Amino acid sequence: MLAVVRDITQRKEMEEELARVQKLESLALLAGGIAHDFNNILTAVLSNISLARTYGDLKEEIADMLHNAETAVLRAQGLTGQLLTFARGGVPVKRVLGVSQLLRDTTRFALSGSNVRTEFAIPDDLRHVEADEGQIGQVIQNLVINAEQAMPEGGTVRVRAENVTVGQDEVPNLSPGNYVRISVEDEGCGIAPKHMTKVFDPFFTTKEKGRGLGLATSFSIVKRHGGCILVQSEADGGTAFHVYLPASDLPLETQGSGAKSPVACTGRILVVDDEQTVRKSAGDVLKRLGFEVAFAEDGEEGTALYRAAMGEGRCFDAVIMDLTIPGGMGGAEAVAVLREIDPCARVIVSSGYSDHPVMADCRGHGFDGAVHKPFGVKDLAQVVHEVLGTRRGS
């Protein structure tokens, strides 16, 4: 009798890991598609709301309702951004911002309806950071939700922020310099010592309803911002997460769609997008600003219209082009064609994929500006005015 025994433990572990990778890849594809389509819908909603706010003096109650609706859309935009970051990571689309209000708004939103109260300790002179607001908002939300889940019977979540200067080898994996340190502390049962080294591991969780991805995603986001995230915990003494983000000396950038009417302009703009609702809402905004607008469903039709307009001596002053068009020529391919037709063409890329590398460095990919979906009147007006006021290469 011949008996053969083979240890297949390693093979089984590899099969399980492959299954995990394939599951994440499928989730990434699904998440990206949902986020893109949902942001197209939100674009039509937000642009129409902000457009309505530009029409004269509104009654206070109507203005409040429009403001609340606009805020809700922006929160929905944050959810799509979280979905993309969770599934795909992505290059941060950074701008200089203050984190004080972001900390307060995100914490209150995450704890809405819970039995946990909040204490804030945020100084008035807190430095600015250069960061992706949506991604950092996701980090804060993950940490606050983690703290809330650690206290099922209720308690207090303490959110602190402070300016710190880090010396050489003072904080692991962190370069010397000025940072903003954000701390989220709870009063829960703490983390067992045997689990401390696994806290940021993907799929590791000690919670029944946990998926083990919140802290792993937060770790990845903070690392891509040039910072780090640390954890401190004691048995029955609660847990504290500390996020270090590089401080910025650049002036604060302001965003948002206010109720004031933007400055009107004149000129011809071509809008290329496969979604009819996006074309119409963007066209309404541009017409309100004083532009003449033409439309195309994909890059092939858009480049043909641009070529024809040049032949007629009625060239478009700018082109707003969707980055991704299913089944058709998208912005990345079409912008190269436009550059061949007219090297001086002014092209703005638009996308619901806020984490796409092109959106993080539009000029490096041949575009003159970028507008993220969903966008309002002021968002679109600002990027159009900036692009029309400069020439490529200047």
Same domain, 286 and 341: yes
Same domain, 83 and 185: no
Please state the domain count of the chain.
Answer: 2
Same domain, 148 and 238: yes
pLDDT tens figures, 258-294:
444 444 467 899 999 988 888 998 998 898 888 999 9
Residue 88's pLDDT is what?
Answer: 54
For the chain, the maximum distance between any two Cα atoms, rounded to a whole number of angstroms, is: 95
Closest among 168, 143, 173 to 158, alpha carbons compared: 143
Residue 246's pLDDT is what?
Answer: 95
What are the DSSP E strand ranges found in 144-227? Answer: 155-166, 177-185
3-state secondary structure 245-302: EEEECCCCCCCCCCCCCCCCCCCEEEEECCCHHHHHHHHHHHHHHCCEEEEECCHHHH
The predicted model gives 206-230 an average pLDDT of: 76
| Distance of alpha carbon 186 from the chain centroid | 27
pLDDT tens figures, 118-168:
999 999 999 999 998 878 988 998 899 888 988 888 899 999 999 999 998
Residue 11 lies in a domain: no
Q: Which residues pair with 233 in a beta bridge?
A: 239
Residue 10's pLDDT is what?
Answer: 67
Confidence at 52, pLDDT banded by 50, 70, 90: confident
What phi-psi label fits residue 50: left (phi over 0), alpha (psi between -120 and 50 degrees) or beta? alpha
Radius of gyration, CA atoms only, the chain: 24
Same domain, 390 and 294: yes
What DSSP character marks residue 354? Answer: T
For 288, the token pair is 């309100």
Specify whether the CB–CB gap between 392 and 368 falls below 8 A. Answer: yes
Highest mean pLDDT among 217-231, 249-263, 328-342, 372-386: 328-342
Residue 362's pLDDT is what?
Answer: 87
Same domain, 277 and 376: yes
Q: Which of 198, 219, 248 is the last residue of a domain?
A: 248
Read off the amino acid at residue 5. Answer: V
Residue 354's pLDDT is what?
Answer: 64
Highest mean pLDDT among 41-55, 215-229, 248-262, 299-313: 299-313
For 355, the token pair is 């984490």
Residue 394's pLDDT is what?
Answer: 41
pLDDT tens figures, 371-388:
888 888 888 888 998 898
Confidence at 347, pLDDT banded by 50, 70, 90: very high
Domain range spanning residue 41?
Answer: 19-89+256-394
CATH number at residue 296: 3.40.50.2300
| Average pLDDT across the chain, whole number | 82
Please determine, for residue 78, whether its predicted confidence score (pLDDT) is greater than 70.
no
Same domain, 133 and 54: no
- Among 20-24, 178-182, 231-235, whose mean pLDDT is lowest? 20-24
Specify whether the CB–CB gap between 321 and 295 falls below 8 A. Answer: no
For 206, the token pair is 């000690």
If you search the block for the tokens 């703490």, which residue do you land on?
190
Same domain, 183 and 107: yes
Q: Which of 248, 277, 295 is the last residue of a domain?
A: 248
% of residues, the chain, pLDDT over 70: 81
More confident residue, 13 or 375: 375
Specify whether the CB–CB gap between 126 and 180 falls below 8 A. Answer: yes
Spatial distance between the Cα atoms of 388 and 344, rounded to a whole number of angstroms: 11
Same domain, 277 and 324: yes
For 203, the token pair is 């799929």
